[in-house]
Structure 1
Amino acid sequence: MRDVRPAVVISDEAGGSYGHPDHRRTHAIVVRALDLAAQEGPGTRGTPLAGVQPVHAAVAVAEDRLRAANASVTEQVRGLGPLGALAQPLLVPGTDLPSLAVPAEGVDLEVDTTSVAPAVLAALRAYRSQVQGSTIPVLDTPLQQRRATDQLTPDQAAIGWYALSNDVAQPILPVVGLVVVRGDAARLRDALAGLPALARPGTDGAAPASPVAAPDVQPLMTPPSAGRIAAVVSCLVLGVLVGVVTTVVHRWRLGDLPLGMLLALVTIGAGALLSRAVTRGAGLLGFAVGAVGAIQAMAFLVAGGDVLVPGDTLGMVWLLGSVLAIGVAAFLPDRWVGRHRDRGAEAARP
């Protein structure tokens, strides 16, 4: 602080934007740093900040704007296919607003960020460990970037969307709102006078307009990692092995009890659950392709002159039951595979 001597310091708000503990701590550190920068004491370095202190502002968004943005994103992502690193459909935002949402009159300044939208999108896509399915539709077209940027306006509800690791779609807003934590709004506006700023959201009492119709562009999928590809291939191989072994033993009986069939169905269901737990939908699909393919192939193979899956009742039960067991594993609740998906509006925490 003493070396740079900034006019404005921007941080998360006290609630951590959406309750993230690291973001809450960042806010507290900035507040403490501003206090210490103005004090003299033993061991301090640099000249203490004297006179007018920097304005401390926090990122915020007007509640009406965020509700309109969430509604816009909900409308656009419904019905889209699997997206992102986990190949899952994006969930729509919830109705609860995060802590960075404040009444419109509480936002001291909004800065139009549409001119830097390509940089925002590039930054989101560079953060592949946490961000997936990010898109600004008008930029994901063959149009020249400058021309596409001109189609974005600050009165749009949302110019795009992204999701964190909980698969909940979040809007990309055309503006950044700021609220003054320390200092006054006039000094904040003076310090940022060179930026394309708006006086205050909703000055006419109207909600932000819905976005203009965008080209029919699907959100880009985060490229799968080598580890994920290897995991899916492993699930495919596991499916083949399980399909072969269970087909061999499915006709074994203990007296009149079809114990082999029971063990085979349980085994194939457990293998499907394991694959789903490892890589979600992609792993389960790989296992299903391997297992069902192996079972169907062995229905035409012979061993000692006998088919392994004859066309009797037990054989038909196995052919259909194996598919049903995988289907049951696919639709069991997430808690069966150790996953608890948050369908609320809060973003996932790293």
Structure 2
Amino acid sequence: MDGVSTMEPAETGVSESAPSEELRVLGAFAHPDDETLVAGGLLAWLARSAEVHLVTATRGERGEVIPGDIAHLEGDGPALAAVREAELAEALAALGVGSHHFLDALPGLTDRRPARYVDSGMQWDGDSRVRAVPDPSSGRDAFSRTDAEVAAGVLAAHLRQVRPHLVLIDEPDGGYGHPDHVRMHEVMMRAVGVAAEQESFKQETEPWRVPVVAWVVRPESAVRAAEQWLARTPHRPFLTTLGRPLALPEPDGMLASIVKPDAAVDLVVDTTAVADQVVAALRAHRSQVQDATLLAEVAGPDGAAPADERGGAVGWFALSNEILQPLHARIGLRVAPGWGSPAALRGALAAAEAHRAGATGAVSAGSIAGDEGADELGDPPGWYLVLMRAFTGLMGVVVTAAATAFHRWEPPFGVMIALLVVLSSGVLARSFADRIGVLVHGLAVAATVLAIAYLRPGGDVVVTDEAIGTVWLLGALVAAVTPTVLPGSWFRDGR
């Protein structure tokens, strides 16, 4: 989608900001270029109507260098850091992000942290090119080896200053396992907790609980479609501009951890409208990125395959490993557990969209919520889930007992209707509660049907040894667990 729907008020239980203000977003990533490679489209899309801030942990001192004219900088940490700082500034200008800080340049706790957070480097895990592991040669000042609690305190102080409504970071495994990415995720998740504490690190600023923390991910279906399109498109390059062969991702190969099953993605934002800004930012990171190309530049407005066939890809680029990758315009987000809800995430982006359209797109800590009024209540209280899980168990017992007595009516129609009733009951349980509620319902179904079949004195007269009885016994169990695999996006809680 290129936009989200309207916002309704919902209570967050946090100290509120001004009653009407522009959406504030804070992105936090490990190295220069991560902001563009991971979330460039989303940052540019948000920057058109929101106040976007960025924190970068290191200056990428240990990155590999692609262009020949600066290849001598590889291994020269300070010199490469200076180049990458300049590249980052150019990239952020292209994305429209005006506020940037390096983590070690933020004020606070200067007596407890190193003077500088340094790139840790990485190694590939064997022959894998989608899974990184720590480099044992990294120094003591490497970001992944420094005190995460201290770094979290520094970042928490910044969170209290910026007071963002939405925080964007890598998923827990850092996108592909890079130790700095993983550490930045850990630091930010700790920092949002510290920032919300009433007394923490003796900070003089008021506590701030971030309404929504979201991990940037990619839907698996879009990634697979984009890679298949890239392999067959006649427009793709076969050599880099430096004359080296370009490989392609392995078909049906292992995927990086940034790629998640579609059902695990809470929201997808189509950032095609800012694709030109993203390509400009990729080109700014010339030491790390090569051959960044917008499809429209080589195929023309009418020469590209339909967007769905491309998985939403709008071009391609390559890194130093010289594997050509699709440039994804469909950016997925997953809400961090305990830090908002899919409804709150939709509300935050709805505010940005409304602001861009000139409507009342103002937000506050207490006004980020869902869309179309469907999620006005926000996250249900704990007692509600407990009550609904108990109710789903009772519903499983009652429905299964009735269906067992009915399943032999006019074979095979009776057993078909009975199984449909159990399946519908499971879906209803999923709607009332959550996946745990479905599990409680399934256990109730299994216990009831087995009790009726085997525990009656002298044998059962309802479930017989005939084939239809076996179909009912096994089918009821399958029907009961089927709702657990349905996409979370079909239900209110999005899980």
Task: Give the TM-score normalised by the residue count of structure 2.
Answer: 0.36
Task: Give the TM-score normalised by the residue count of structure 1.
Answer: 0.50
Larger radius of gyration: 1
